[in-house]
Amino acid sequence: MKVEFSPSLMCMDFLKMEEQFNILNDKVDMYHIDIMDGHFCKNITLSPDLVKTFSKVAKKPMDVHLMTTNPTDWIEKVAEAGAEYISPHAETINGDAFRVMNMIKSLGCKTGVVLNPATPLSYVKHYLNRIDLLTIMTVDVGFAGQPFIEEMLDKIKEAKELKEKYGYTYKIQIDGSCNPKTYKRMYDAGAEVLIVGSSGLFGLNEDLNKACDQMFEDFNRAIAE
């Protein structure tokens, strides 16, 4: 199984944005863009305007992760800005999840949903057949550098089992602490897309080309053990 890599753009060097995109476009599979409203989680990061800027240089699909209390306030904006996947949190949409999924599809985007660590997979079971990207948080939302939550391996395994049992087509994406210490366990559990931030990519080397090469080397070595 080929695992895809999706750099978390909140971790990139914005002073070298175009240069870094030129490197990443040839190396990675997707881009992960966190939008936080300071309310759903106590932090504020990227914005629809930045998504629009990224779209001018990004040559791989952009997944916009809406860590926002009212995701429907943001969906149309990020779709217009160039998002290919739009991933709101299940905790914020389950009152109108089917309308939200239809809204995302109607804008020409792929549907995603994100689960916080304490939210069980059963919370979204009635619309798993409608989503393209299932993101499992392996840290609590809002801040980089948190420790990996071991209990999430069971959730990843469950997502894989359901996908195989019912023929679902979603990709299983992991958000949080994806690095050499966790690669093998995530891979063995069924992870298909790894979101890499400082510990998995950007902090490995000041030269992003070398950092990417190191990331792939770290992953291949980890899963071979």
Across the chain, which has 225 residues, the per-10-residue mean pLDDT values are: 94 95 98 81 76 96 93 96 98 95 98 97 96 96 77 98 98 96 97 96 97 98 93
Active-site residue flag, 218: no
Active-site residue flag, 96: no
Domains and CATH numbers, the chain: 4-224 (3.20.20.70)
Q: For residue 78, which of 96, 56, 63, 61 has the smallest C-alpha distance?
A: 63
CA dihedral 216, 217, 219, 225 (to 10 degrees): 160
Q: Is 140 helix (H, G, I), strand (E, B) or coil?
A: coil
Which whole-number Å values give the CA distances from 128 to 109, 123, 143, in the listed order?
Answer: 16, 10, 27
**Binding-site residues for a divalent metal cation, please?**
32, 34, 65, 175
Question: Which member of 63, 132, 175, 218 is catalytic?
Answer: 175
Q: Give the per-residue pLDDT at 222.
A: 97
Question: Which member of 34, 63, 132, 218 is catalytic?
Answer: 34
d(CA 144, CA 159): 24
Q: Give the per-residue pLDDT at 24.
A: 98
